Structures are given as structure tokens and as C-alpha cells.
Amino acid sequence: DAGVTQSPTHLIKTRGQQVTLRCSPKSGHDTVSWYQQALGQGPQFIFQYYEEEERQRGNFPDRFSGHQFPNYSSELNVNALLLGDSALYLCASSFGPTIYFGEGSWLTVV
């Protein structure tokens, strides 16, 4: 049984560009959350998707958007990238109270 899978694992983008990160939840999990973890910090909640809708959002600007597909997979999109967007982006899936994290996507903005 595959766990939470994320792609790509590493990527480098230039300021002003746009990026799309992808997440496939653990089998049977219907809820996907995204977190941003900057170096030396704990993960920060970006938003959560359930039944293809954004259920809750953290304190992130509108440049951060997402989508959930009927198969529960999800995408995180970030527009107009800033240097400060460089971080590990973590996807977490859940069904009920148990939460599993993917290995993350390392984004470097130069």
C-alpha cells in the first residue's frame, strides 16, 4: 500500500515564475492538506481540501492556490514566486484523525 506520494521531489524556479506541486494521498484517504516548512521552522498550514473543495486556509496569500481531483489527489500552485517561497512543501492525507505526511517537495527560488 503506497503512502502519500509527492512530485517533484526537488525543483528550482526563478523569481516571478509559477510552480505546481502534486500529491497522491494514501489509499482510502479523502482529505489532503498542504504545509510549508521553511528552513529551521516547523511546518505551517497552507490549506486543506475535502470533497474537491478548500475547507480551511491558513495565513497564506492568494498566490497560493490548490485543487483536489475526484480521485482525491491534489495540486498546490504558487504564482509569482518570491525568494521567500523557498521551502519544503509537505502534503498530508487523512481519513479521520490519523494523518500521514509525504516526503515533500523541495522548492528553491533563485
Partner 1 sequence: RKEVEQDPGPFNVPEGATVAFNCTYSNSASQSFFWYRQDCRKEPKLLMSVYSSGNEDGRFTAQLNRASQYISLLIRDSKLSDSATYLCVVNGGSGGSNYKLTFGKGTLLTVNP
Cβ proximity to partner 1, 45 vs 65, nearer residue: 45
Cβ proximity to partner 1, 35 vs 72, nearer residue: 35
**Any contact of residue 55 with partner 1 (CB under 8 A)?**
yes
Site string for partner 1, 25-44 (x = CB under 8 A): --------x-x----xxxxx
DSSP letter string, 75-96:
EEEE-S--GGG-EEEEEEEEET
Near partner 1 in 79-108, by CB under 8 A: 90, 92, 97, 99, 101-104
CA dihedral 56, 18, 21, 95 (to 10 degrees): 10
What is the dihedral sign for C-alpha 55, 28, 75, 14? positive
Give the angle subtended at the CA of 99 by the CAs of 98 and 101, to the nearest 5°: 155
Instruction: Select the residue interacting with partner 1 from 5, 58, 60, 67 (CB under 8 A).
Output: 58
**Any contact of residue 68 with partner 1 (CB under 8 A)?**
no
